[in-house]
Amino acid sequence: MLQGLKVTTKRSIMTQTEKAGKKIAAKKPVAKKTVAPKAKAAPTVTAPPAPKPVAKPAGKKKSGLAFPFTAIVGQEEMKLSLILNIIDPRIGGVLVMGHRGTGKSTTVRALAEVLPLIERVQGDTYNRTVEEFVEGEELKKGQKALDAASLKTEKIPVPVVDLPLGATEDRVCGTIDIEQALTSGVKAFEPGLLAQANRGFLYIDEVNLLDDHLVDVLLDVAASGKNVVEREGISIRHPARFVLVGSGNPEEGELRPQLLDRFGLHARIITILDVAKRVDIVKRRREFDEDPDAFMKKYNREQLKLQKKIQTAKELLPEVTMDDNVLTDIARLCMNLGIDGHRGELTITRTAHAHAAFLGQKVVTMKHVKEIAGLCLRHRLRKDPLETLDAGEKIDRELAKVLGEAEAV
């Protein structure tokens, strides 16, 4: 089938690595604007869609405004989980599962507006801090150390990157920049979504429908915090630490167990049964659709207030402490629930710290633990379909036991 086509050997392209490396270094300062996919400059040409001869712009900036986070009615569990992950990204992300049409993706997409700013080396595609940048560049070239002081930095909002189900692996991990190759005849690395998501949020809607090969990639990267790409003679390694946020409807399919385990928190969403609240939702949605700008303005103050509260909590977090007794209780809770491994304890501890910080408190108590235990453990319980008790209830029951014992002591 491939008769007449030349297939070069690996060796013959090896020597291009050097050239490519140089190019990458040179390419670094090219400013890449934050967040999500964006339009690419020429020479990409858009073919006019067949039915109408009107040419559409080749990709445009994300249109429309996102519904404001603070205008979302109810679903406190999901909102709290997301906020706690902003305060401490090490919590490990949130899986939001629940009924259809309950505002899962609306809420996650609204998140971007209340996120704090982070500092990165100016124009760095990987959103690296000065330290990460220096370390990364040294590794690559083996040349003399970069002078950290000479690097300019800039503040950008924490990136929120949307990973669509139809994404191909090369766009997720990054690949060779074809434009560069065509115009200047050099190979350069075109970073993918994982690069954009570094130090930010990576959001996957309908995560339970994600193709296996992408799940593999995600598991790999999430475990190591690094993305490694070996393509077309280029070898790239870059940090890819992100808060993984997934959402879906459990009835559409199950999530792969390994992926489930990766999520720090698991928020459950159900249909709101309160008429007044539902009417409120309809009214707000209509108001937003009629005049998004006015609606945004109306919620502006609350948005800023929340953003500030999160920022304050982030700053407070290092000062939050936890008594050993509380830790013992957490460990006992996890043990009684028969949770494998230590990720349960670790997640509860971190989440409780963040929760205390969010409430402006410096000491973690069992009250904080109680409020977040369900979020941290729900998906770690062994799944038993014959179990009639809801996972949340089971956790509450064990929690009550642990608390009872603690009081009795």
Partner 1 sequence: MIAFTDIVGMDLAKQALMLLAVDSELGGVVIPSAVGSGKSTLARAFADILPEGTPFVELPLNVTEDRLIGGVDLEATLASGVRVVQHGVLSKADGGVLYVDSLSLLDSSAVSHIMDAISRGEVLVEREGLSEVHPAKFMLVGTYDPTDGEVRMGLLDRIGIIVPFTANNDYRARKKIVSTVLGERDLEDTRDELKMLSGIIQAAKEQLHHVSITKEQMQALVQTALSLGVEGNRADIFTVRAALASAALAQRTDVEEEDMKLAIKLVLIPRATRMPEREQESEEMPPQEEPPPEEEQEAEDEEAPADTPDADAEEEQEEEPDMLEELMMDAIETELPDNILNISLASKKKAKSGSRGEALNNKRGRFVRAQPGEMRSGKVALIPTLISAAPWQETRKNDKKMAGRPKTALIITKDDVKIKRFRDKSGTLFIFMVDASGSMALNRMRQAKGAVASLLQNAYVHRDQVALISFRGKQAQVLLPPSQSVDRAKRELDVLPTGGGTPLASALFLGWETAKQARTKGITQIMFVMITDGRGNMGLQAAYDPNAEKASKELIEQEIESLSLSIQADGIAAIVIDTQMNYLSRGEAPKLAQKLGGRYFYLPNAKADQIVEAALSF
Run of H or E including 294: helix 292-316
User: For residues 36 and 197, is the Cβ–Cβ distance under 8 A?
Assistant: no
Task: State the minimum distance, in angstroms, from the CB of residue 209 to partner 1.
Answer: 5
Is 286 designated active site? no
Task: State the minimum distance, in angstroms, from the CB of residue 349 to partner 1.
Answer: 23
b (16+ CB within 10 A) / e for 203-232: bbbbbbebeeebbebbeebbeeeebebeee
Q: Which C-beta is closer to partner 1: that of 66 or that of 316?
A: 66
Cα 90 to Cα 108: distance, rounded to the nearest angstrom:
18
The site map against partner 1 for 283-322 (x = CB under 8 A) is x-xx--x---------------------------------
Task: State the minimum distance, in angstroms, from the CB of residue 199 to partner 1.
Answer: 19
- Is 56 a binding residue for partner 1 by CB under 8 A? The answer is yes
Cα 215 to Cα 206: distance, rounded to the nearest angstrom:
12
- Is 52 a binding residue for partner 1 by CB under 8 A? The answer is yes
- Is 44 a binding residue for partner 1 by CB under 8 A? The answer is yes
CA distances from 232 to 23, 24, 83, 126, 367 (A): 14, 14, 41, 21, 55
Q: Which C-beta is closer to partner 1: that of 62 or that of 237?
A: 62
- Is 33 a binding residue for partner 1 by CB under 8 A? The answer is no
Stretch that binds partner 1, among 85-93, 113-121, 203-211, 399-407 (CB under 8 A): 203-211
Which residues ranging from 335 to 374 are in contact with partner 1 (CB under 8 A)?
A: none
Parallel, antiparallel, or unpaired: how do β-strands 242-248 and 265-269 relate? unpaired
- Is 331 a binding residue for partner 1 by CB under 8 A? The answer is no
Residues in Cβ contact with 367 at an 8 Å cutoff, skipping those fewer than 6 apart: none
Cα 183 to Cα 44: distance, rounded to the nearest angstrom:
11
Task: State the minimum distance, in angstroms, from the CB of residue 296 to partner 1.
Answer: 17
Which residues ranging from 93 to 112 are in contact with partner 1 (CB under 8 A)?
A: 99-103, 105
CA distances from 18 to 141, 142, 231, 299, 317 (A): 9, 12, 14, 52, 44
Max distance between CA atoms of the chain, in angstroms, equals 82
- Is 172 a binding residue for partner 1 by CB under 8 A? The answer is yes
Stretch that binds partner 1, among 21-29, 148-156, 166-174, 292-300 (CB under 8 A): 166-174
Stretch that binds partner 1, among 151-159, 218-226, 276-284, 356-364 (CB under 8 A): 276-284
Catalytic residue (choose from 171, 278, 285, 343): 343
- Is 53 a binding residue for partner 1 by CB under 8 A? The answer is no
Which residues have a catalytic role annotated? 343
